[in-house]
Chains A and B, each alone.
Chain A
Amino acid sequence: GAGVSQSPRYKVAKRGQDVALRCDPISGHVSLFWYQQALGQGPEFLTYFQNEAQLDKSGLPSDRFFAERPEGSVSTLKIQRTQQEDSAVYLCASSPSGTGGDSPLHFGNGTRLTVT
């Protein structure tokens, strides 16, 4: 596709519900990242995939957060038993390879999650 696509754009969940956020990266992009952006803050790293391999999940806030990219393209971020502090914009980004100057990161428009 033309860019990174994320769905849904908005998600309202009641506390305790499970949610799944989808990311369609740019076709052919090897690297895929998930970031969390709280209101008025910069994006914070959650996890990183190279193809289907999850190479870094050090930013996931708790074991309620789980991400997968089973076929090396589409990725899903799942949050179990959502809490109010999970309310944020979840950004997906992809790049041909890594994050360096020769491989710029392309962000989607994010999914805004509100937990009530």
Chain B
Amino acid sequence: QQQVKQSPQSLIVQKGGISIINCAYENTAFDYFPWYQQFPGKGPALLIAIRPDVSEKKEGRFTISFNKSAKQFSLHIMDSQPGDSATYFCAATGNFGNEKLTFGTGTRLTIIP
């Protein structure tokens, strides 16, 4: 019940296209859903996050769409650029008293010219 399932495992998108990564969760106690971006040899860095009281959050080219009834959320990267090539992780946490994040398995995104 603590799992976060992420798809696809890898994604190739042309420059200027839209990249879409999906995640699903089971635990309805989760109330904070961040996305992290990780480059090779680096630690994950927070990209954007959402709480379930809103259905969408946009920051620049990055948008999270959240469907509470379906227990799904997705990351959309508009106008994808080669610099966006990285591994993306969705994550979730709730008010469990231990603050730990449960991560998805990651999506390796490659933006081709």
B85 within 8 A of partner (CB): no
Binary per-residue interface labels of chain B (19-47) against chain A in the complex, 1 for a CB within 8 Å, 0 otherwise: 00000000000001010100001111110
B78 within 8 A of partner (CB): no
The verdict on A58 contacting B98 (CB below 8 Å), with A41-B106, A42-B106, A107-B44 known, is yes
A21 within 8 A of partner (CB): no
B15 within 8 A of partner (CB): no
B51 within 8 A of partner (CB): yes
The residues of B that contact A104 with a CB separation of less than 8 Å are 34, 46, 49
The verdict on A48 contacting B98 (CB below 8 Å), with A4-B43, A91-B44, A99-B93 known, is yes
The residues of A that contact B49 with a CB separation of less than 8 Å are 101, 104
Known contacts A4-B43, A42-B104; 12 further A-B pairs (Cβ under 8 A): A33-B99, A41-B106, A43-B101, A45-B101, A48-B100, A55-B98, A56-B99, A98-B99, A100-B93, A104-B34, A104-B46, A109-B41
Residues of B within 8 A of A (CB): 6, 32, 34, 36, 41-46, 49, 51, 89, 91, 93, 97-106
Residues of A within 8 A of B (CB): 4, 31, 33, 40-45, 48, 55-56, 58-59, 91, 93, 98-101, 104-110
